[in-house]
């Protein structure tokens, strides 16, 4: 089954404790992206990757890191989480079309709480 | 900068009513426009898209037309069902690979 998986689905942590949220897709997609979803703000793009070893900042990259060492995986790293990073996080992937990214496939989400 | 503005919800309708969810955007150049739907507890799914002015995207009875003159991409459906209850997000794609989403509009359809 074609899918994007995220782990963990739920995480409660404390300020300053490094964490990683994993994202994996089995569709051989070149493009992957991370978003955070907050009430009243919709989804905001954190980082995206056009291919292995190619990453770039989205709209809200501060406090986050990413890496793309393999095509299927795109982990999101919070080196020193803070309470304002409490949010619902989505990973997405897509094929690269000749005219750009079209349909993104989203994972189920990771709800992160930073105390 | 680039942004997407959606009408605030929730929108509550009776089954078989007509639906309109307004979406306007601000962008330089020629963005592509999308509507995504999110069912409770799930990730977003693409509903429809339009890549250039005057294009009409349609899927599952929903449709939206890319209006460059009014910078709008309103979502419509002639007769909603209870199963259409979800949160709907308007989005634009800028510069090939960056995305901007609206804040989402929750739709409740009552039997």
User: For the segment A63-93, what is each residue's pLDDT rounded down to a tens digit?
Assistant: 999 999 999 999 999 999 999 999 999 999 9
Q: Residue A87's pLDDT is what?
A: 97
Whether B44 and A44 lie within 8 Å, measured CB to CB: no
Q: How much of chain A exceeds pLDDT 90, in percent?
A: 87
**Which residues of chain B are under the pLDDT cut of 50?**
none
Q: How far is A80 from chain B (nearest CA, A)?
A: 26
Whether B89 and A43 lie within 8 Å, measured CB to CB: yes
Whether B103 and A92 lie within 8 Å, measured CB to CB: no
> Smallest Cα–Cα separation from B73: which of B19, B5, B2?
B5
Higher pLDDT, B79 or A42: B79
Q: Residue B95's pLDDT is what?
A: 79
Q: CA-to-CA distance for B98 and B7, rounded, in angstroms?
A: 22
Q: CA-to-CA distance for B7 and B103, rounded, in angstroms?
A: 9
Q: Residue A25's pLDDT is what?
A: 97
Q: Residue A96's pLDDT is what?
A: 82
Give B89's contacts in chain A (Cβ within 8 Å). Answer: 42-43
Q: Residue B13's pLDDT is what?
A: 97
């Amino acid at each position: 089954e074609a899918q994007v998986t995220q782990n963990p689905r739920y995480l409660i942590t404390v300020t300053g404790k490094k964490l990683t949220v994993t994202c994996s897709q089995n569709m051989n997609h070149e493009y992957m992206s991370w978003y955070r979803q907050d009430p009243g703000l919709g989804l905001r793009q954190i980082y995206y990757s056009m291919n292995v070893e190619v990453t770039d900042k989205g709209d809200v990259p501060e406090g986050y890191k990413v890496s793309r060492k393999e095509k299927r995986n795109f982990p999101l790293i919070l080196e020193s989480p803070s309470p304002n990073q409490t949010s619902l996080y989505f990973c997405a992937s897509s094929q690269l079309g000749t005219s750009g990214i079209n349909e993104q496939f989203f994972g189920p989400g990771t709800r992160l709480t930073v105390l | 900068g680039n942004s997407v503005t959606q009408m605030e919800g929730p929108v509550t309708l009776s089954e078989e009513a007509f639906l309109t969810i307004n979406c306007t955007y601000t962008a330089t150049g020629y963005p592509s426009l999308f509507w995504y739907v999110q069912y409770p507890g799930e990730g977003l799914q693409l509903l429809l898209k339009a890549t250039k002015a005057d294009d009409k995207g349609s899927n599952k009875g929903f449709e939206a037309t890319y209006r460059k003159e009014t910078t709008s991409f309103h979502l419509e459906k002639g007769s909603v069902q209870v199963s259409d209850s979800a949160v709907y997000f308007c989005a634009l794609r800028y510069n090939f690979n960056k995305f901007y989403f609206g804040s989402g509009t929750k739709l409740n359809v009552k039997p």
